[in-house]
Structure 1
Amino acid sequence: MRARALGEAGPAPSRTQMIMDKISGEEVGCAGGAYSYSALKRLDQIWSSICEAQADSKVPEVVTRVQGPLVDYDFGDGSEIFDVLVCGGTLGIFVATALSYKGLRVGIIERNIIKGREQEWNISREELMGIVEVGILSEEEIEQIISSEFNPNRCGFESKGEIWLENILNLGISPAKVVEIMKERFVSSGGAVFEGKSLSSIYVHDDLAVLNLSDGGSLPCRLVIDAMGNFSPIVQQVLLIFN
């Protein structure tokens, strides 16, 4: 009985699963926030479905072009026309904050909560200084968000030699800290946050675009920025057009 019970046990976890199961911290819903083994399997399934998709596969049409200006639109009491609406908050929060600092009326649409993950992002100091030059992060704050620093990095392929690189992706920064700073800065500069809302469709007129949300609401703007990542429904529609 013991031998049969052991024989009926499930397969042993792979090395990948064992490593990823040791990663601490909760997942967050935004882009890059899912880094557990189950999340990896979900991404693998999505990638497989993309690779196996037939040429005639139907992709939801999210963006629709409408000729002429926007007319007979009920903006409702207290509603406004945004200069820019950014779809996707984890990376979108950076460009949204920069534009808000320029005096534009900016909103962010995020299906979950705008929150950075616990696992580090890798970046170069030169790239971080670009954010400082834009004016949305100070040099003192950069030092606060840096979790690790290392040099040099070894790159190479087996039997093909090695290259040692200095100051390339050699910083580990805390997404949780930097996204929190950006979110507070964005809101304090007058930016609007629409969390827990998914994008359903976009109607692009000659003068404005209208974004329809999953909760039935709609937001008009002059410019739409897609920061929803590789699996953005807008990207999928564009790929279908070019394929």
Structure 2
Amino acid sequence: MIRDQPGTYGSSASERRIYTPPEGKKVIREHLSRWERFLHADHGLDPLTVMALAHYQFEAIHPFFDGNGRTGRVLNLLILIETELLEFPILYLSGHIMRHKDTYYERLNAVIRSDDWEPWVLFMMVGVELTAHWTMQLVDATGDLRGNMEEEIRQLNTRMPATEITRLLCTQPYLRIENVVDAGLAKRQTASKWLGDLAEAGLITKERVGRHVIYVNDRLLYTLFHTPLPGHSWVSVTSRDSRFGV
């Protein structure tokens, strides 16, 4: 819901008021309309630059009472998808922003105070670079895991559809018997036996959660949570860094 009451403002870590966004539903809608036109204008800017500028603009408008930060981070991905830099929303840029929240707000406030755009744009671009490298590492790791698991399942039981079962196990980190049945791979009794055999062989872990039994792909969870996060090399980037042509 668009803000229709005054009193919203941005504050620093010490709770000092540093920014008051536009007020009044009509005014906010006008700002959002101009923001939308900027997104789709034929201005010739690099899509990554558009993403960085549009993110700042959206956060400065601060159109909602709550959820502006989350919405702005989702919009980053949607902009990259619309401009065909991404096919799927797999770039976890929110992680970079949340891990470096102090710098994120520092760079946002520098734009507000003195139109210091370059450090802000560089912060976002380096975040994309580091996160993209990390995402590719994760994709490679999960691809290797999937290939190894498929081969192990095939060796365990040649009658089990190894490719399809592995795809299910790598689509989400746990399965129920119903997932195998709903995928059309087997009837319930056979699906139960297959997952039980995989658990007994140590490929997955059988756990009881309340009245339900689930089968957990521990190796996938470990890969997702232990692939090293991007480093902090962005801190060496200065406003004179021209790697990104800004």
TM-score bracket, shorter-length normalisation? under 0.3
**TM-score normalised by structure 1 residue count:** 0.20
**TM-score normalised by structure 2 residue count:** 0.20
Ranked by relative contact order (alpha carbons within 8 Å, sequence separation 6 or more), the top structure is: 1
Higher strand share: 1
Higher helix share: 2
